[in-house]
Amino acid sequence: MEKLKYERPVIKKLITGFTNKFGSQSKNEAVTHIESVNVNELIGKYGSPLFVLSERQIRRNYQNATRIFRTRYPKVQFAWSYKTNYLNAVCRVFHQEGSWAEVVSGFEYDKAIANGVPGNKIIFNGPDKKDEELIRAARNNSLIHIDHFDELYTLIKLSDEYQLKPLVAIRVNMDTGIYPKWDRFGFNFENGQAWNAITRILNSENLNLVGLHCHIGTFMLTTSAYAIAANKLCELAWSLKVKHNKTIQYLDLGGGFPSTNTLKGSYLPGTDTVPSIDQFADAITDVILNYGFKQEDLPLLILETGRALIDDAGYLLGTVLANKRLSDGRRATILDFGVNSLFTSFWYEHKVSPAQESGQHTEETILYGPLCMNIDVIRENITLPLLQKGDRLVVHKVGAYNMTQWMQFITLRPNVVMIDKDNNTHVIRNAETREYIESAELIPPHLTNA
Ligand SMILES: *Cc1c(COP(=O)(O)O)cnc(C)c1O
């Protein structure tokens, strides 16, 4: 056999944007409108950067999730996770749709009351509940989810002192096959701590155990973890029935469903990889329905879904401040919003769209924020058309955790507007001013005429 002729291998630069061995070019289609409202007009009227929320999308998400669960299980209740986005207008949309409130601090508890949520529709979670807050929650018949033994003993003492009959559940942590385990909140299932807490509550004079709660993680990508969690909560509820003839009123499976954002370092986009709410609902309800409870004893199923109900209803609009070349030749684009506004850029590779038509050419770009701080990187590497100073862009799926975790650092937080179902735009949080920020500051007398 004749030896094949040696041919020197060639290295060919792959031009991004055109079809290559990784597939066809990724489109950078201009997003000129949010709902039917023009992006340039929004920025013209409300400034840049600007957070925009679609009320229509929030309602769509809520109705979709409740339909999915209610068609699989007879008794379902959602409770809006305040810390995910506690702008009052947002909370009120959820409450109008029928959602209860899920809060994790006295501050959030007060917000829920001020938003008109009846006390008995507020779930009070978290490790930090002050004595006065526990007393208030107990008097309002709120659902107090006990996090640790010290809180349990405090509640027993307060109930005695103030003649309270608090409605309580315990938060249970457990091995769901997801590591590292979330075992810092609540009572552990496997080592018997959860059952010990339950028996102490049953033996207390005043506490009324009405539910069992878990919140096993956030941005969960495996539905089987929920099946395991549901199974373990059912096991506790079953033991309560068998050993104490006590019927538990509800199982609260917490939050944690992912949005369709793409986690940093993922090979495939979130839209292609995250399980749907249907799959989570199947995993949870299959377990509870088949556990063996009598029909009339089936517990209410509570869900505290946050992120998955709001992320895709939020947008951040911004403007290009400048382009520059780094010393290694890479293109860098500086935007007028940074990690101070877009906290979730620490975890996500957000979809970013230009807000105007741009040419066919694209280039890999680093997106920097405007802060004078090295960590202010919105994206290490993204393929975008050649945006110019003054061009606008739209960041997608920013509704969850940005409008609560944003930082007032170096600069002020921008306007937040909501587009209602008739495409009317409402400011739901004013851009901050220096006066607003400084209104909480005091100057000691010896510095007043410095
Ligand atoms: C944060 C939180 C939620 C919401 O979590 P998501 O991952 O946003 O769905 C629900 N319950 C509790 C107790 C929480 O702390």
254 lines ligand 1 (CB under 6 A): yes
**Which residues sit opposite 345 in a β-bridge?**
none
Count of residues for the chain?
450
Last residue of a domain, one of 310, 342, 373: 310
Same domain, 292 and 410: no
Cβ–ligand 1 contact at 218 (below 6 Å): yes
448, part of any domain? no
| 326 and 283 belong to one structural domain | no
Q: Counting atoms of ligand 1 from 1, which one is nearest the CA of 256? A: 7
Whether residue 186 lies inside any domain: the answer is yes
43 and 100 share a domain? no
Q: Give the CATH number of the domain where residue 138 resides.
A: 3.20.20.10
Q: What's the 22 CA to ligand 1 centre distance in angstroms?
A: 36
Q: Which one, of 66, 134, 148, lies nearest residue 99 by Cα?
A: 66
Please tell me if the CB atom of residue 307 comes closer than 6 angstroms to any atom of ligand 1.
Answer: yes
What are the phi and psi torsion angles at 425 (to 5°)?
-110, 135
Tokens representing 450 are 């410095």
* Together in a domain, 303 and 385: no
- Residue 263, phi-psi category: left (phi > 0), alpha (psi -120 to 50), beta (remainder): beta
Ligand 1 centroid to Cα of residue 388, in Å, is 39
283 inside domain: yes
- The verdict on 299 and 342 lying in the same domain is no
Residue 83 Cα to ligand 1 midpoint, Å, equals 8
CA of 311 to the centre of ligand 1 (A): 13
Q: Clarify whether residues 218 and 293 are in a common domain.
A: yes
Dihedral (Cα; 69, 71, 77, 80), 10-degree rounding: 50
CA distance 27 to 29: 6
Tell whether ligand 1 has an atom less than 6 A from the beta carbon of residue 399: no
445 falls within a domain: no
* 327 and 268 part of one domain: no
Q: How confident is the model at residue 3 (pLDDT cuts 50, 70, 90)?
A: confident
Q: Which residues on adjacent β-strands are paired with residue 323?
A: 333
Condensed to tens digits (0 to 9), the pLDDT of residues 274-289 reads 999 999 999 999 999 9
Domain total of the chain: 2
Is residue 63 in some structural domain? yes
Clarify whether residues 45 and 89 are in a common domain. Answer: no
Point out the domain boundary residue: 261, 283, 310: 310
Give residue-wise pLDDT tens across range 48-105.
999 999 999 999 999 999 999 999 999 999 999 999 999 999 999 999 999 999 999 9
Domain hosting 362: range is 33-52+312-432
Residue pointed to by tokens 């749709």: 97
Structure tokens at 370: 């405007």
Q: Which of 260, 284, 310 is the last residue of a domain?
A: 310
Instruction: For residue 281, report the distance from its CA to the centre of ligand 1, in Å.
Output: 16
81 Cβ closer than 6 Å to some ligand 1 atom: yes
At 296-327, the pLDDT tens digits run 999 999 999 999 999 999 999 999 999 999 99
Distance between CA atoms of 276 and 265, rounded to whole angstroms? 21
- Taking only the tens place, the pLDDT of each residue in 398-446 is 999 999 999 999 999 999 999 999 999 999 999 999 999 999 999 999 9
- Predicted TM-score (pTM) of the model is 0.93
Q: Pinpoint the alpha helices (H) of 204-325.
A: 224-244, 270-273, 277-289, 307-310
Ligand 1 nearest atom to the CA of residue 217, by list position = 7
Q: In the block, which residue shows the tokens 């109008």?
A: 96
Going from the Cα of 21 to the center of ligand 1, the distance in angstroms, rounded, reads: 40
Report the C-alpha gap between 36 and 23 in whole angstroms. Answer: 32
Assigned domain for 27 exists: no
Instruction: Take residue 74 and report the two structure tokens written for it.
Output: 């007879």
b/e 214-252 (16+ beta carbons within 10 angstroms → b): bbbbbbbbbbebbbbbbbbbbebbeebbeeeeeebbbbb
Cα(215) to centroid(ligand 1), Å? 7
* Index of the ligand 1 atom closest to the CA of residue 83: 1
Distance CA 272, CA 257 (A): 15
Is 444 part of a structural domain of the chain? no
Tokens of 280: 């989570």
| pLDDT, tens only, 178-221 | 888 889 999 999 999 999 999 999 999 999 999 999 999 999 99
Distance 125 CA to ligand 1 centre (A): 10
Give pLDDT, residue 7: 82
What are the start-end ranges of the E strands in 326-361?
Answer: 331-335, 352-354
> Does the pLDDT value for residue 258 go beyond 60?
yes
pLDDT, the chain, mean: 95
| Dihedral over Cα of 408, 414, 415, 421: its sign | negative
Task: Give just the sign of the alpha carbon dihedral 435, 439, 444, 448.
Answer: positive
β-bridge pairing 33-34 and 167-173: unpaired
Within 13 Å and on the Cβ side, how many CA atoms surround 404?
19
User: Based on the domain organization, do 170 and 302 belong to the same domain?
Assistant: yes
pLDDT at 22 over 60: no
Same domain, 156 and 243: yes
**Domain co-membership, 192 together with 109:** yes
> Residue 125: CB within 6 Å of ligand 1?
yes
Q: What's CA 49's distance to the chain center, in Å? A: 21
The pLDDT-based confidence of 27 (bands split at 50, 70, 90) is low
Q: Do 263 and 329 fall into the same domain?
A: no
Nearest to 344 by CA among 300, 379, 319, 368: 379
Residue range 92-151, pLDDT digits in tens: 999 999 999 999 999 999 999 999 999 999 999 999 999 999 999 999 999 999 999 999
Within-domain flag for 399 = yes
Pocket test residue of 215, 252, 348 for ligand 1, highest count of atoms within 8 A of CB: 215
253 within ligand 1 shell (Cβ under 6 A): no
